[in-house]
Each structure stands twice: as C-alpha cells, then as structure tokens.
C-alpha cells in the first residue's frame, strides 16, 4: 500500500491528477493490479493529508484547491520550519550547507517541472540537523500540500527568481550561523510566498484549477 500512496501522492502534487478529478477505486485497482482494499486504504491516508476528499455514497476525488487551506498551510509552515531551523543551525555542518547550495544550483538551472521537488530538498537539507523526526515528518506533509499550489500557480508568476534570491540569502545567514537573521529570512520567505500564491488563487475566475 505504501507504494500506492506514494504514487498517487506524487501524481496529485505534480498536477497529473487534477483538483476535483474522480478517483474510482475499481479503476485504480485495475491500473495498479491490486484489490480494492489497498486502494481504499491509500485513499484514506491521502484524505488525512488533505490531498483527497471522500464523499459518502459518491466516492473519492482529488481535493480542490482552497484559498483557506493555502493560507493555513503557509501559516503552519512558518511555525514548523522556523522551529526546525532554530534547532538545526547549531548542528549544521559546512558539508550540509554545501549540499543545500548544490541543490540550489540545480534548482536555478532546472525548469518549473522540477522546482517543487528541488525547493523541498533545499529546505529539508537545512532542517535535517534539527534532530526532530516528528517535526520533519510534519513539515514534509505540509510541503506536499503546498507543492500542489505551487504547481498550479507559480508557473504563472514571477516567483522563482525571487525564491532563488531568498534561498541564497538564507544560505549566507546559515554559513555565518546567524540564527536570528536566518529565521527572519525564512519567515519572510515562506510568508510572502504564501501571500503571493493566495492573491493569485483568489484572482482566478470561479471554477478555475
């Protein structure tokens, strides 16, 4: 079932499965050559992550894009990720910062299709030294939801260049082990990204996305 959850999650986050698209258990069972039971369990896991909605007597569908959810997710990201960074900075090695910088180099050379994954990898690399596995799992789950909104909005915005600049500034603060500056940069980085995506989503005609 874990592989099924991972595959469906990736397809929802990437936009291959679009918001509102029905998820028929029998069709998914045929597609993945399995019974309906693991499909049903996988859909329940994805529902708990906010990626799927289960409607009694109607079945499952990919969760719609919701401005209220986006706003809440970015508020939660600020709280969780700044905590992780505070805990991580005293433990960050130069090698780990170098690894994050190499990921950032790749992100700047990559297209939009890889932006979400590389963005997540960059942040995760800086947070891992915090030594808080439950916190990291929470951040990863929020990141999956946030990536859906990036997929459907950031490609239409002048967002990536600003994000890249902010990542470079965050790397510099981490190299200096300047916790206050790094946390302030991260807070503004996540908050402003959320506000930008929220404005875009609210400006879309009803029914779009």
Residues 6 or more apart in contact with residue 184 via CB below 8 angstroms: none
Mean predicted confidence (pLDDT) in 58-79: 94
How many angstroms separate the first and last alpha carbons of the chain? Answer: 29
Express each pLDDT in 10-40 by its tens digit.
899 888 899 999 999 999 999 988 999 999 9
Closest by alpha carbon to 97, among 122, 60, 117? 122
Lowest mean pLDDT among 77-81, 106-110, 111-115, 116-120: 111-115
Express each pLDDT in 155-176 by its tens digit.
656 678 889 999 999 999 999 9
Copy the structure tokens of residue 140. Answer: 């990863």
Rounded to whole angstroms, the Cα distance separating 12 from 166 reads: 27
Question: Would you say 142 and 77 are in contact if contact means Cβ atoms under 8 Å apart?
Answer: yes
| Full set of structural domains in the chain with CATH | 2-62 (1.10.10.10), 67-203 (1.20.120.530)
Give the model's pLDDT for residue 99. 98
Mean pLDDT taken over the chain: 90
Rounded to two decimals, what is the model's pTM? 0.83
Rounded to whole angstroms, the Cα distance separating 50 from 141 reads: 9
Provide the residue count of the chain: 209
3-class DSSP state of 53: strand
Judge whether residue 207 has pLDDT over 50.
no
Judge whether residue 205 has pLDDT over 80.
no
Question: Would you say 171 and 100 are in contact if contact means Cβ atoms under 8 Å apart?
Answer: yes
- Please state, in angstroms and as integers, the Cα–Cα distance from residue 43 to each residue in 3, 50, 89, following that order: 12, 10, 37
């Amino acid at each position: 079932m874990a592989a099924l959850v991972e595959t469906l999650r990736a397809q929802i986050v990437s936009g291959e499965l679009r918001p509102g698209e029905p998820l028929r258990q029998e069709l998914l069972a045929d597609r993945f050559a399995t019974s309906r039971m693991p499909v049903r369990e996988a859909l329940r896991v994805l529902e708990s992550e906010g990626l799927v909605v289960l409607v009694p007597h109607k079945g499952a569908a990919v969760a719609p894009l919701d401005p209220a959810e986006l706003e809440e997710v970015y508020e939660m990201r600020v709280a969780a990720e700044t905590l992780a960074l505070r805990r991580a900075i005293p433990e960050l090695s130069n090698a780990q910062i170098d690894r994050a910088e190499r990921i950032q180099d790749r992100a700047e050379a990559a297209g939009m299709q890889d932006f979400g994954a590389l963005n997540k990898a960059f942040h995760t690399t800086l947070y891992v030294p915090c030594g808080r596995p439950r916190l990291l799992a929470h951040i990863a789950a929020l990141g999956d939801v946030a990536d859906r909104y990036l997929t459907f909005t950031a490609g239409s915005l002048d967002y990536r260049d600003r994000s890249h600049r902010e990542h470079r500034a965050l790397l510099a603060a981490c190299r200096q082990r300047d916790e206050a500056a790094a946390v302030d940069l991260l807070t503004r980085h996540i908050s402003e990204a959320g506000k930008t995506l929220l404005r875009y989503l609210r400006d879309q005609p009803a029914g779009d996305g």
